[in-house]
Structure 1
Amino acid sequence: MGKVTSDFTSLEGKVIVDTIEQRICEAIDARKDEIINFATDIWNHAELGFQEYRTAKKFTEALRRCGLESQTNMAVTGVKSCLKGRVDGPSICLMGEFDALPIPNSPHVNPKTGAAHCCGHNAQIAGVIGAAMALTLPDVRTALDGNVVFFGVPAEEYIEIALRNRMREQGLIRYGCGKCELLRLNALDDVDIVVGHHAACVKEYLVANRSCNGFVTKMVRFEGRAAHAAGDPQHGVDSMMAAEIAMHAVNVQRESFYDEDTIRIHGRASGAGEATNIIADDVRLEYSIRGKTIASYMDAAKKVDRAMRAGAVATGCGLSISTLPGNLPIVPVRDASVVREALEIVADGTPVTETGPDVHSTSSGDYGDISCLMPLLQFNTGGFSGALHSPSVEVGNPYEAYVEPAKIFALIAYRLLRNGAVRARGVMDEFVPTLTRKGYIELMESQLVTEHLPMAPLFAPERV
């Protein structure tokens, strides 16, 4: 790792580690088998969002072995633990996600849940646990001029929307993703900076400081009237035809969107009738409407609503449109150099790449909600193969997938908090929030809307 110095770069521009950073990396390497075993256990027992009870239990137990007690059942399954540094100061949250994806044809699917870790979230929480192993060491802890929060969070993937809507109706949750719920519950009020990780299916050390789309979700129901499709179609009201008109109406509006708004509208249909000889009386659509800014995707969402109404009016079907808040656009920070430095230490000569604020992704995530309220630092590492969100995902290099993120998490926290936490304070001082917490809640609540149109069929006149 090079000559030890108190500086964070050498004269050649290379990152140099100090004795505490050497201690962090050595401590994590000494427990690499424990970290890999933890990650493999989570990999083998994947669970879906807001249902990660076993994962939360294992995460809590691992933190306890580091001498940390936790708050549990936060936003259903979330787990939070705080490490106090030498003095009170900024609070750095190392965050990992608990949930997996419903990919039943993955060779690594959990047969009890139908879930598989094909987005590598198990690597995130293994990284958080590995970082806790190092940062809780007495000599490391006393070098921290601030606090570190270790947070395992539920439900990053915005899936099983109908189930989550039922959970909302039952009062179990209010919003569809874990971080959104945690913000609503004030669980991050004592956090100043959040650090997040993402797995990659290539060998990569990436500073992920790009912007991303936000989105809103629509749950649509067309209510028709069943009838014999061959013998008595005149007395049916076909909800499948209503959905077909609505989907076509969405598609013909795509050219109306500004290219720079990066609008994406995608969805699925379900319940298109029970048999071919029965007029469909209940068809459901789900849509996600994404865009670069809140204003742009909310404008596109209005056009989707209009298209749904068109299908209902044209066929006489009844209609309900339930709007659910999704995730907000990710806001990059101005200076993510501390992430690059940590990556360069661990990469050991492998080039570190960066997607900066001038790069935009059309994907979304609930880190966007956090980034609107506080600074967000993110990084990607490899160790996986295949294609994310597909059954082809495999763990190619367990050390790279699980141990290296632990080092990077810990090094970022230490670099932010050493020397009076000057780096953390710099990131905080430069950050300009997009929303206040009050404004965030008001925005989310404004999107929880349901619209109804009654059925209004025009039946063919009776004939003699």
Structure 2
Amino acid sequence: MNGRLFEKLDRSFEDMVIIRRHLHMHPELSFQEEKTAQYIHDFYTDLGVDVQTGVGGNGVVARIKGARPGKTVALRADFDALPIQDEKDVPYKSTVPGVMHACGHDGHTAALLQLAKAIHEMQEDLAGEYVFIHQHAEEYAPGGAISMIEDGCLEGVDAIFGTHLWSGTPLRTIEYLTGPVMAAADRFEITIQGAGGHGASPHQTKDAVVIGAQLVINLQQLVSRRVNPIESAVLSVGSFIADNAFNVIADSAKLGGTVRSFNPEIRDLMEREMKRVVEGTAITHDCEIKFDYFRGYPAVVNHKAETEFLKEVAEQIPGVDAVIESKPHMGGEDFAYYLEKVPGTFFFTGAQPATPYPHHHPKFDFDEQAMLLAAKTLGAAALDYQTV
């Protein structure tokens, strides 16, 4: 059965590329993906597949039933873009100023659509049910996964599989990992209210820049001195704004950044210790400091049985040269919410192009052959899971 599926996917590769490039040229930001959702809906409608739009917002869910009873397997692809100007010199460059697919979601969507088409053509010979989850708003918390789950996208699902095209991993490589594979992704904002004044009279001020600088230094010590070195955490201050004339001492400043972790206890510790440092700095400088901590996605934690199963499946995929254990990634992914509800795994499909750029870079791109390998791996996992 997998052989038939692979043949259909091989024949559909050119269509896969066409879809990907269309989506790349017409990107939409998180929570604004109305035309993309309509495009996905129309694709399924043309196939004659039952499809539901407006799932949890802009989400789209299609279900294909085999002719025989079996398990229900969900496959997920995201389809939102990023607020980045596309700087690639390619024919399929984004036509929307300041918006581009800089993470591969256009490829995820194209691969899943063509996989759904192939499974639809085979449904009379298949057992079980196949749920194709096209998720909006992965890039911006609270994300689209949690609202789609609340709207029933996982109803009756026995297992879920998802992949991310990964530009830093060589083509023809599948990376898997049991347990935590992507980090919880939180953000914070710190607003300092001091007392400004003339640059020649610092003793009459409460310098928000100095206070902010001390905060940056003190916060950087939390990971090295408060987190067990066996555990992992990242605290990065990404912005520090205190715009003034050269001879004016700032009365206010604003800091923003992110915290990444895998262990829920470390996540709690970081928030608690950051609050303590901020409060202590406010007392020291006799000023007001507002601290806001926003919890983003939880860590992506892959289930052991489904991950080992995926590894075995990937090793049988034609064109895959290496199936290797991944290292955990500090990036965040709201696929985490699906794995909190049903068993499954999230893996990486190598997609390194000739000239690789990191994800979220203005010149990001990937080798389109990776879409075919992603579709084959997801498809084989869905079909083979019927016999597990």
> TM-score, length-normalised on structure 1?
0.73
| Other-structure match for 2:114 | 130
Checking the alignment, whether the CA contact within 8 Å between 1:100 and 1:121 is kept in structure 2 is: yes
Considering fraction of residues, name the structure with more strand. Answer: 2
For residue 164 of structure 2, what is the aligned residue in structure 1? 198
Q: Which of 215, 225, 239 is residue 269 of structure 1 equivalent to?
A: 239
Q: Within 2, Cα distance between the matches of 1:395 and 1:214?
A: 25
Q: Which residue of 2 aligns with 1:404?
A: 373
Cα 1:126/1:234, change in 2 over 3 Å:
same
1:347 aligns to what?
318
8 Å CA contact 2:77–2:135 kept in 1: the answer is yes
- Structure 2 CA distance for partners of 1:111 and 1:268, relative to 1, 3 Å: farther
Distance 1:337 1:66 in 2: 33
Cross-structure match for 1:394: 365
Alignment of 1:190-229 (within 5 A): 190-201=156-167, 202-210=170-178, 211-212=180-181, 213-225=183-195, 227-229=196-198
* Equivalent residue number for residue 104 of structure 2: 120
Partners in 1 of 2:248 and 2:86 — Cα distance?
A: 32
Cα deviations across residues 148-181 of structure 1 (Å, max 9, x unaligned)?
A: 11111122234xxxxxxxxxxxxxxxx5222233
Q: Deviations over 1:58-100 (max 9, x none)?
A: 2222222222242223343211111122245432111011123
- The structure-2 alpha-carbon separation of the partners of 1:181 and 1:217, relative to structure 1 and needing over 3 Å to count, comes to farther
Displacement of 1:412 in angstroms is 1.6
What residue in structure 2 maps to residue 434 of structure 1? none
Asked if 1 retains the 8 angstrom alpha-carbon contact of 2:86 and 2:99, the reply is: no
Give yes or no for contact 2:86–2:94 (8 Å, CA) kept in 1.
no
Look up the equivalent residue of 2:149 and give its one-letter code. Answer: L
Deviation at 1:293, TM superposition (A): 0.7
Partner residue, 2:285? 315
1:187-208 CA deviation, whole Å, 9 max, x = no partner? 4343321111111232133142
Matches of 2:131 and 2:149, distance apart in 1: 15
Residues 1:192 and 1:316: Cα distance change in structure 2 (over 3 Å):
farther
CA drift at 1:106? 2.9
Instruction: Report the alpha carbon displacement of residue 264 of structure 1 after superposing the two structures with TM.
Output: 0.9
Q: In the aligned structure 2, how far is the partner of 1:50 from the partner of 1:258?
A: 38
Aligned to 2:76: 95
Task: Map 1:352-391 to 2 at 5 A.
Answer: 352-355=322-325, 360-385=328-353, 386-389=356-359, 390-391=361-362
The partner residue of 2:27 within 38, 41, 46 is: 46
C-alpha contact 2:172 2:370 (8 A) present in aligned 1: no
Distance change >3 Å, CA 45–CA 314, structure 1 → 2: farther
Separation in 2, partners of 1:323, 1:343: 39
Please give the alpha-carbon distance, in whole angstroms, between the structure 1 residues aligned to 2:285 and 2:259. Answer: 24
Cα deviation per residue 1:78-126 (whole Å; 9 max; x = unaligned)?
1111112224543211101112333326326635352332321211111
Aligned match for 1:287, one of 239, 257, 266: 257
1:110 corresponds, among 88, 94, 98, to: 94
Equivalent residue for 1:57, pick from 15, 38, 52: 38
In structure 2, distance between residues paired with 1:53 and 1:229:
51
Give the structure 1 partner of residue 136 of structure 2.
154
Residues 1:33 and 2:7 are matched in the alignment = no
Q: Which structure has the greater CA radius of gyration? A: 1
- Per-residue CA deviations over 1:4-51 (Å, capped at 9, x if unaligned) read xxxxxxxxxxxxxxxx22221222223222211001111222333222
Counterpart CA distance in 2 for 1:323 and 1:88 is 47
* 1:351/1:186 CA distance change after superposition, 3 Å: same
- SS of aligned partner of 2:107: helix
Percent identity between matched residues is 20
Contact 1:205 1:343 in 2 (8 A): no
- Matching residue of 2:384: 415
Which residue of 212, 230, 245 corresponds with 2:214? 245
What is the CA-CA distance between 1:231 and the residue it aligns to? Answer: 6.1
Equivalent of 2:67, from 58, 74, 86? 86
Paired with 2:294 and 2:382, the residues of 1 have a C-alpha distance of: 35
Cα separation, 2, equivalents of 1:268 and 1:310: 22
Q: Deviations over 1:394-428 (max 9, x none)?
A: 344x3x132332222222211112xxxx31xxxxx
SS at match of 1:249: helix
Q: Secondary structure at the match of 1:253?
A: helix
Matched pairs, number: 376
CA contact 1:228–1:236 (8 Å) conserved in 2 = yes
Distance in 1, matches of 2:152 and 2:271, equals: 29
1:144 counterpart residue number = 126
> Which secondary structure state, in structure 1, belongs to the residue aligned with residue 127 of structure 2?
coil
Counterpart-to-counterpart distance in 2, 1:186 and 1:240: 49
Q: 1:208·1:355 contact (CA, 8 Å) conserved in 2?
A: yes
Q: Contact (CA 8 Å) 1:219, 1:287: kept in 2 or not?
A: yes
**Equivalent position SS for 2:190:** strand
SS in 1 for 2:142: coil
Q: In the aligned structure 1, how far is the partner of 2:51 from the partner of 2:246?
A: 55
Structure 1 runs not aligned, ≥5 long: 1-19, 159-174, 424-464
Q: Which has the higher contact order (CA 8 A, sep 6+)?
A: 2
User: Quick one: which amino acid aligns to residue 150 of structure 1?
Assistant: F
Q: Which runs of 5+ in 2 are unaligned?
A: none
Task: Decide whether the 8 Å contact of 1:120 with 1:198 is kept in 2.
Answer: yes
